[in-house]
Amino acid sequence: MGMITNVSEYEKIAKEKLPKMVYDYYASGAEDQWTLKENERAFSRILFRPRILIDVSKIDVRTTVLGFNISMPIMIAPTAMQKMAHPEGEFATARAASAADTIMTLSSWATSSVEEVASTGPGIRFFQLYVYKDRNLVAQLVKRAEIAGFKAIALTVDTPRLGRREADIKNRFTLPSNLTLKNFENIDLGKMDKTNDSGLASYVAGQTDQSLSWKDVKWLQTITHLPILLKGVITAEDAQLAVQYGAAGIIVSNHGARQLDYVPATIMALEEVVKATRGIIPVFLDGGVRRGTDVFKALALGASGVFVSKIDTYISEARYCECGTFKIFCNLFNNLRTNLILV
């Protein structure tokens, strides 16, 4: 294996190494996958107008997110069930994020619990939350995240049901029998039943709350002192409501193009959302980021930072796991600095 220089090359390794069902789960999108392609393609339509003869001898990409100092405006988005890709799963991701001095977001549907991830050592971590029908369960999970030292809640707001992911249907996707959704293991919700289509889709239909609405953002604020980011906003109207309902920030996201197909790429929705918030709360971008060039474009359009998804699960071989994730962050960091210097 030659030198790996970018995220796309790790993705090629993952396709070779991972079981088809697992790779397809991570890599595929909804229906025709138009938005999946567009999430990356849209970045290529944004061009630079570089200026010259400016002193760029001192470049600092450190930033602050919700009051926390991090080394770069690049953070890890939540990716579910990471131990399908590697036995270390979320543990390796947590350690790599800590080593890179940035933020990791842990999925509700992680194969490691909030307590287990916290035990890997120090680090700034957010917790991504799906709201289940059982609100007592949700309150308990949020409290566990608080006690484990997580610093914010990223409330996913675009999943009243799962999008039609045809690769998962064809593969009859389900969580491998040796793994569980660890945050729900002790209440018999950690496993998925095998079905004739997608086991995850059936799980979501049975557990997540389709009545979730804006009033529940207020409810969530009553059960936690943690700041609440809304993940899944792509319109100005919803951005204005997010401000009105007291969100601490917005993550512009189309769920990795895995929910509703034929919605805009997140980079195309970003500017609209940024303008609607009028600088009252920070806006972050999630989706399609593969290079520091993409990070630069998001920052130029008003993002306070970006969340990068799937990179941890594309590190599929043992020798590439934690080390590979850290190296990717170093690559993105250096690529971003280069762009800042040249533009």
C-alpha closest to that of 232 among 90, 130, 112? 130
Q: Please, is 122 exposed, middle or buried when counting C-beta atoms within 10 Å of its C-beta (0-12, 13-18, 19+)?
A: exposed
Q: With beta carbons less than 8 A apart as the criterion, state whether 156 and 162 touch.
A: no
Phi, psi (rounded to 5 degrees) for 287 = 135, 120
Q: Token digits for 241? A: 């409501």
C-alpha closest to that of 258 among 130, 153, 168, 127? 168
What does each C-alpha distance from 146 to 64, 183, 305 come to in angstroms?
20, 14, 23
Q: Token digits for 138? A: 């949700």
C-alpha closest to that of 332 among 304, 306, 313, 300? 306
Angle of the 322-342 helix axis to the 292-300 helix axis, nearest 10:
50
Q: What spatial distance separates the first Cα and last Cα of the chain, rounded to whole Å?
A: 33
225 is catalytic: no
Distance CA 98, CA 104 (A): 8
Catalytic residue among 255, 258, 290, 310: 255
C-alpha closest to that of 9 among 333, 327, 265? 327
Q: Which residues contact 185 (CB under 8 A, 6 or more apart)?
A: 113
Angle of the 266-277 helix axis to the 34-41 helix axis, nearest 10:
70
Distance CA 330, CA 323 (A): 10
Q: Which residues contact 235 (CB under 8 A, 6 or more apart)?
A: 269, 272, 273
Q: With beta carbons less than 8 A apart as the criterion, state whether 166 and 31 touch.
A: yes
Q: Which residues are catalytic?
A: 255
